[in-house]
């Protein structure tokens, strides 16, 4: 069975016959869920089972963006609410030990929610550093403005997920915090000198580079590659992400359907692979785009396959956990 080097979304709460046929034929490496796919725990559990059944691979990963705050795909009333990352940074500023503990507990609780419904990869933590005047597309999704605090809390968040049997994805490499526009809608351009990026934006990613997955930023860094966003830049991927930052894990693109990228969806996918990214991510569930992505994605093989397999090797059964006591402690820490 040939697995293709991409992660696919789907349209709704259950798979259509057309989606089942496409996934069976195209064999995406994994899947990702959005709020449109999530209604009740029983429904999400059935959907994740259906996704894996469509490709005939019970080990196929299912991803989600379950950060807390405004990025929470599993939402009340059927799932608990979680605070944005900045709440942990604010707590850390008052009491570092409490901030660390809350960041770990928050993602450990999230991991329990995710495992209940068959999700085993979470696109957390966000290691970006916002700056004054930047667009709030990152904003309070970031733990703090200080890279050392981001490192501390990002590590706790990643470790909390891993303790719960969910694999983290650090994002958005090599840094999205300076973006002046929302990359969902436009292509951000960052004109900061490389020396300054090295002394700020790159630091959290370099410190946490040993984690298994990372997601790219749809951002042009003119000091590195003035023509292409990081996601599609061989220079950024090779020289910065693999080189200076030293990330040796599995590299996933941000969503191909975001408007920061130009050209047809197939062209976008081809440019991602030409840059050296391991897996393309396509999220919107539009069938015509899903077919085009599948047609333009190569087989997952070689070093990319090795990195993807090694990253999934971080999955394990959850550690022992008293969920009720943890939730009470978490709520108490967060006030």
Residues taking part in catalysis: 184, 254
Copy the structure tokens of residue 59.
């080990």
Residues in a beta bridge with 167: 121
- Do 325 and 33 form a contact (C-beta atoms < 8 A)? no
Q: From 71, 133, 111, 63, select the one nearest 318 (Cα to Cα).
A: 111
Mode of pairing for the β-strands spanning 279-282 and 4-8: parallel
Query: Which letter does DSSP use for residue 244 in this model?
Result: I
- CA 212 – CA 214 distance, rounded (Å): 7
Q: From 271, 155, 282, select the one nearest 209 (Cα to Cα).
A: 155
Copy the structure tokens of residue 287.
């069938």
Task: Give how far Cα 224 sits from Cα of 30, 194, 219, 304, Å.
Answer: 31, 7, 11, 24
Residues in a beta bridge with 279: 252
Across 260-277, b (16+ Cβ under 10 Å) vs e yields bbeeebbebbbbbbebbb
99: how many CB neighbours lie within 10 A of its CB?
24
Q: What is the DSSP string of 283-318?
A: -S--HHHHHHHHHHPPB--HHHHHHHHHHHTT--PP
Mode of pairing for the β-strands spanning 250-255 and 220-221: unpaired
Across 293-327, b (16+ Cβ under 10 Å) vs e yields bbebbeebeeebbebbeebbebeeeeeeeeeeebe
């Amino acid at each position: 069975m040939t697995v293709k080097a991409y992660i696919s979304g789907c349209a709704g709460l259950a798979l259509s016959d057309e989606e089942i046929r496409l996934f069976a034929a195209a064999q995406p490496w994994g899947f990702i869920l959005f709020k449109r796919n999530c209604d009740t725990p029983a429904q999400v559990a059935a959907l994740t089972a259906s996704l894996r059944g469509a490709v005939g691979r019970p080990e196929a990963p299912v991803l989600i963006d379950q950060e807390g705050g405004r990025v929470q795909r599993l939402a009340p009333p059927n799932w608990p609410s979680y605070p944005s990352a900045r709440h942990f940074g604010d707590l850390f500023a008052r009491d570092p030990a409490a901030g660390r503990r809350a960041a770990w507990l928050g993602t450990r609780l999230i991991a329990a929610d995710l495992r209940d419904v068959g999700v085993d990869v979470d696109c957390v933590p966000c290691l970006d550093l916002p700056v004054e005047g930047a667009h709030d597309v990152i904003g309070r999704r970031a733990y703090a403005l200080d890279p050392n605090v981001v490192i501390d809390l990002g590590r706790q968040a990643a470790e909390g997920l891993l303790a719960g049997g969910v694999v983290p994805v650090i994002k958005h490499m090599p840094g999205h915090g300076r973006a002046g526009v929302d990359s969902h809608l436009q292509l951000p351009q960052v004109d900061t000198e490389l020396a300054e990026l090295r002394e700020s934006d790159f630091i959290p990613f370099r410190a946490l580079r040993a984690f298994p997955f990372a997601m790219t930023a749809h951002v042009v860094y003119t000091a590195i590659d003035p023509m292409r966003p990081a996601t599609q830049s061989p220079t950024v991927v090779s020289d910065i992400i693999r080189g200076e930052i030293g990330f040796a894990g599995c590299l996933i693109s941000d969503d191909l359907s975001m408007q920061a990228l130009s050209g047809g969806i197939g062209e976008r996918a081809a440019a991602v692979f030409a840059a050296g990214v391991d897996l393309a991510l396509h999220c919107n569930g539009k069938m015509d785009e899903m077919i085009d992505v599948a047609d333009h994605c190569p087989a997952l093989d070689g070093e990319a396959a090795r990195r993807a397999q090694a990253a999934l090797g971080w999955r394990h059964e959850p550690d022992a956990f008293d969920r009720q006591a943890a939730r009470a402690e978490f709520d108490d820490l967060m006030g």
